[in-house]
Amino acid sequence: MLTDLKDTEIKELSEVYDPENKDTYITLYLDVDSLDNKFLERRKKSCKSVLKGEKDLLENFDRTMQIIEDHVSKSGRKKDRKGIVIFASDIHNFLKVYELKIPVENLMVVDTSPYIRPLARLIDEYEAFGLVLLDSQRAKIYVVSSGKAEVAKKKGVDIINKHKKGGWSQARFQRLRKGAIDHFLKEVSEDVEKLFREDDIKKIIIAGSGTAKTTFKDFLSPNIKSNVVDVIDIDFDDAEGIIISRAEEIVSEDEKKRSDENVMRLREEILRDGLAVHGLKGTMDAVVNGQMYLLLISKDYKIRGWICEKCQTVDSGVSEKCPYCESDTSEVDVIEEIIEFSKRKDTKIEFVGDNPVLDELGGVGGLLRYR
């Protein structure tokens, strides 16, 4: 899997912030596969120079960085680990560490709260999917995430030898054989239902030769069947080494198609003045009020703004004082704040790449639950 991180933990991270609006949390995204020690030193030097005049913040920064660096050095290299994400604050006795099976772009942020945007985007882009490879006698069930395929279960039955023809008529033999195959495929479907429900799999690829794959699909419950993205015709023995990459391509194309369809739904709802908003202010208001069902964000969209941690007001531009409660504000990436609010409200987030329609609509928008 991408990580052992649960969606509930992302939500919990989104609710963490310094009540005094001070930069006491450090977030580190580190590519451990090609560890760049100079990156950490550069970022430490830059941050310390900014915090130099604030004794308490500088001391917290030094202590927190020591915790982070100790963890990185002690954890060492692991076979499947490509990236690591650490959220830490010494003054708040806070430490969360997540190991990833994919490399991440090096990033270190010092802020009033954990910086979750890159992690939210990774989870959206590397959502796990299920792959079922089978024929009339064998089956392999995979869970695929981050370019890694884990065999969740293998199953097989010798149907030919189980029903030797002997003195039976050809018709009776064929009926018995079909019944045995159906029984086998039904057992596989039950395994799939259980395994994919446990892993909350939303996309499924079925692969195999002959009629077994289509017969198998008919045994699936409607809920699971609705998650089937494609059915691939391939020989069981020929699939080794190629089926995973082929399935990943299909899932990637399906995700792009669905993203584009959601943007078109957004456009249509806007044209009919329906359940949709776009642009920074309308989107933020809908998210904060819990109206947003699906948040759509252009992948690389960032906008400078500010937040008042006291009354939780967020806006673009620059403002040293909150115009509503006169409290001090902090400079933020407004899109990061929208993502944090979305996680708190259990809003689904989708990062959209290369879509001029969404760009024209302000880079951010969404479909509403209600007005």
- pLDDT tens-digit readout, 10-35: 899 999 989 888 899 999 999 987 77
Distance CA 78, CA 76 (A): 7
Give yes or no for a contact between 20 and 62, defined as CB atoms under 8 angstroms apart.
no
Q: How far is CA 307 from the centre of its chain?
A: 26
Question: Domain 129-240 sits in which CATH superfamily?
Answer: eRF1 domain 2 (3.30.420.60)
List the domain boundaries for the chain: 1-119, 129-240, 256-371
Give me the CATH code for the 1-119 domain, please.
3.30.960.10
Instruction: Name the residue among 307, 341, 337, 339 with its Cα closest to residue 325.
Output: 307
Q: Do 129-240 and 256-371 agree at the fold level?
A: no
Residues 6+ apart with CB under 8 A from 154: 138, 139, 140, 141
Residues 6+ apart with CB under 8 A from 293: 275, 347, 348, 366, 367, 368, 369
Residues 6+ apart with CB under 8 A from 316: 280, 303, 304, 305, 334
Q: Can you give the pLDDT at residue 68?
A: 95
Which positions of the chain have pLDDT values less than 70? 1-6, 36, 75-79, 146-147, 158-174, 176
Q: Can you give the pLDDT at residue 110?
A: 96
Q: Can you give the pLDDT at residue 9?
A: 83
User: How many CB atoms sit inside 10 A of residue 38's CB?
Assistant: 8
CATH architecture of 256-371: 2-Layer Sandwich (3.30)
pTM: 0.82
**Alpha carbon of 156 to those of 22, 137, 180, 358: distances in Å?**
60, 5, 12, 48
Q: Can you give the pLDDT at residue 1?
A: 43
Distance CA 321, CA 146 (A): 43
